[in-house]
Amino acid sequence: MTWELSEFGKHLCCGSGIGELMDDLGHALASGGDEIRMLGGGQPAHIPVMDERWRQRLAEIVANEGELEHMLGNYEPPAGNLSFRAAVAGLFREKFGWQVGVENIGVTMGGQTAFFFLFNALAGRFHADRQKKILLPLVPEYIGYANQSLGTEIFAGVKPSIEMIGDHEFKYHVDFDSIRVDEDIAAICVSRPTNPTGNVLTDEEISRLNALAHELSVPLMIDNAYGAPFPNAIFTDAKPVWNDGIILTLSLSKIGLPGTRTGIVIAREEIISALGSMTSIVGLANPNVGQAIVKPLIESGEILSLSDDVVQPFYKARSRKALGWVEEFFDETLPYRVHRSEGAFFLWLWFEDLPITSRELYERLKSRGVLVVPGSYFFFGVDDPQWRHRDECLRVSFTMSDEIVRDGFRIIADEVRKAYQQASS
């Protein structure tokens, strides 16, 4: 007997791009072995300095009488531990001059949950058959957003302008001339660095988007999971920005604590109150472990020095190595371009006039033990099936060991070359 699913159930229970990605990631990490080259997903690398720091913090928690018991045995308020929120607010007041207090800081069960709450609180169906959408001014955008609506399409995406750089590089820019807005836009949302491309919107682009949001009287939502000031996996100049028209999200995942599921939201007091209400309804409270581990690092400012001196140099070096392997294996017979790597954990590859879809390429690579993410998943909100570019891209992570990543790029080049050769024969 099959039980009927509601519209909500059909939308969330029947598979998604992010679900497939996380399933592949989980199986790959669980099975291990040299045969799996995990170049998909946003799994952070295990940086020895960071892993040791977490080990030290857990030892301190165990040694401090009552702290372990509080961390594991107590519910915190739905918006997060008050002293943790106060520490976050203090850091941003002191280091960046932001006028924020504990009432402007909220905790969620990871950044993904924050956006599920925010998108559905701000967009979707309204009275009198009105429907509001989230404007994505620079598509491709994060795969995890795509299926987060409660049964209705809530995204309006805008194609980027594409700057060609040299023979094998390119960069997306916000095409402000193509943005069309009306009263049905509920919010503007960007990730910075952009997931999947590693693009970092310039300070000028953020300023223009902020002005546009202000003009429309809607929030500008900035997903800062990889950005400054922590974890600061960013390789170019980008000024952290916040005002009461911005909803800024951060995460402890990319600094090395993805298992703690700790997202941080900086926003107006009414938004933080709304998030707390939703948390209490959906899950009572948030996980305590990440907050307990990191609070002293936030209070002392150590989280910033770890980000600047450990995390950023690590991923910048990984990015440069990955680009070197692309040059090694992708010769002039392949019409490829790589998005300028300005941050995050991956390269975004574009194979112009690819004779198969990125989804087909994904399956071929998967059969050879290489897991990547097909680019087509990231182009939601854009209704143009004739736009071939959306089927010509791959997101490739470089957080695994050098041996695995290098061999993965070798196999990608080999499989792409075969696709072009088969099409021309």
pLDDT by residue (tens digit) across 380-406? 999 888 899 999 999 999 999 999 999
pLDDT for residue 394: 97
pLDDT for residue 11: 67
Average pLDDT over residues 355-365: 96
Q: Which two tokens stand for residue 100?
A: 């924020």
pLDDT by residue (tens digit) across 57-81? 999 999 999 999 999 999 999 999 9
Query: What phi and psi values does residue 8 have, to the nearest 5 degrees?
Result: -60, -45
Average of per-residue pLDDT values in the chain: 92
Q: Is residue 422 packed enough to be buried (19+ CB in 10 Å), middle (13-18) or exposed (0-12)?
A: exposed
- Residue holding tokens 């999200």? 249
| 159 has a pLDDT exceeding 90 | yes
| CA-based nearest residue to 248, from 305, 300, 209 | 209
Q: Which two tokens stand for residue 298?
A: 């936030």
How sure is the predictor about 317, in pLDDT bands with cuts at 50, 70 and 90?
A: very high
Most confident of 35-39, 147-151, 360-364: 360-364
Q: What does the domain layout of the chain look like in residue ranges?
A: 7-50+306-424, 75-302
| Topology annotation, domain 75-302 | Aspartate Aminotransferase; domain 2 (3.40.640)
| Topology annotation, domain 7-50+306-424 | Aspartate Aminotransferase, domain 1 (3.90.1150)
How sure is the predictor about 322, in pLDDT bands with cuts at 50, 70 and 90?
A: very high
Are domains 7-50+306-424 and 75-302 of this chain identical in fold? no
pLDDT by residue (tens digit) across 3-38? 877 777 776 776 665 666 566 656 555 555 556 788
pLDDT for residue 129: 82
- Give the Cα separation of 382 and 390 in Å (integer): 10
Q: Which residues of 250-280 are buried (b: 16+ CB within 10 A; e: fewer)?
A: bbbbbbbbbebbbbbbbbbeebbebbbebbe
pLDDT by residue (tens digit) across 249-279? 999 999 999 999 999 999 999 999 999 999 9
The pTM of the full predicted model, rounded to 2 decimals, is 0.93
Q: Report CA 5 to chain centroid distance, whole Å.
A: 29
pLDDT by residue (tens digit) across 210-233? 999 999 999 999 999 999 999 999
